[in-house]
Amino acid sequence: MDIYVLLKKTFDTEEKINISQGHIEDDGAEFIINPYDEYAVEEAIKQRDEHGGEVTVVTVGDEDSEKQLRTALAMGADKAVLINTEDDVAEGDQYTTAKILEAFFADKEVDLILAGNVAIDEASGQVGPRLAEALSIPYVTTITNLKIAGETTVTIEKDVEGDVEIVETSLPLLVTCQQGLNEPRYPSLPGIMKAKKKPLEELEIDDLDLDEDDVEAKTKTVDVFLPPEKEAGKMLEGDPQQQVQELVSLLKNEAKVL
């Protein structure tokens, strides 16, 4: 089985993030595999172990994305591909990424493509569905269980606003992975050592017969800013009637929502 995982490098949101002039400062920032993509890597490894084949992780990014690819290889993936856009794409968006991936997969034999449900930096959830549409294959989003029977039959449990929907479909297929699908493994020391010798191919958009105009972004980021700091709350004193009167007064005179 030919299994591919779409992987993205994202900021570690548990570390400090600095913003300057509407842009996140890369210097000093910590980067990780997008957490939802970790579920995709883990599920890809599980399906390979059960059904055979190999797992290839693919990312569209800069040279530094090799670190996250090596982490996925240390988890157990077989091969990695870095499509380096650092010199060719000044500003990209979901259209850009999907277009590049479409060109990459044009000559590939694919059984299963897994991606994270969303990326924690932009949270659009667009790349997977866009790619599936471009490749004319079925896709199911926010999956929490995946069973493959025989050569093509697939049964999926999908998260739908706190409930579960069961979907039956067939390979080839693209899915996006939600929390609860599995528990991603940590790379072991032997896995880390093996990852250094596993193949990691680096491509540029020229290698995919694309140029800058083909992947020009369709959207533009106008500004990036932190949410305002929360003000301290107010404690209402007195009996319930007095508290209600004070609350109404605050909503009317300070919050001005009445």
* DSSP bridge pairs for 20: 23
Say how far apart CA 161 and CA 14 lie, in whole Å. 26
pLDDT tens digits for 57-76? 999 999 999 999 999 999 99
- Whether the pLDDT of residue 221 is over 90: the answer is no
The reported pTM is: 0.84
pLDDT at 22: 61
pLDDT at 36: 95
The two tokens of residue 117 are: 């449900």
| 1-10, 192-201, 238-247: least confidently modelled range | 238-247
Q: Amino acid identity, residue 43?
A: E
Structure confidence at residue 224 as a pLDDT band (50, 70, 90): confident
The two tokens of residue 31 are: 């980067």
- Whether the pLDDT of residue 4 is over 70: the answer is yes
Say how far apart CA 149 and CA 152 lie, in whole Å. 7
Among 127, 105, 111, residue whose Cα is nearest residue 36: 127
For the residues of the chain, what is the DSSP string, one character each? -EEEEE--EEE-TTS---EETTEE--TT--EEE-HHHHHHHHHHHHHHHHH--EEEEEEEE-GGGHHHHHHHHHHT-SEEEEEE-TTT-SS--HHHHHHHHHHHHTT---SEEEEES--TTT----HHHHHHHHHT--EEEEEEEEEEETTTEEEEEEEETTEEEEEEEESSEEEEE-TTS--PPPPPHHHHHHHTTS-EEEE-GGGGT--GGGG--S-------PPPPPPPP----SSHHHHHHHHHHHHHHTS---
Say how far apart CA 22 and CA 226 lie, in whole Å. 10
CA-only gyration radius of the chain, Å:
22
State residue 142 phi and psi, 5-degree precision.
50, 50
The two tokens of residue 188 are: 């072991």
Give the CA count within 13 Å in the CB-facing half-sphere of 9.
20
Structure confidence at residue 30 as a pLDDT band (50, 70, 90): confident
CB 195 within 8 A of CB 187: yes
Say how far apart CA 118 and CA 257 lie, in whole Å. 34
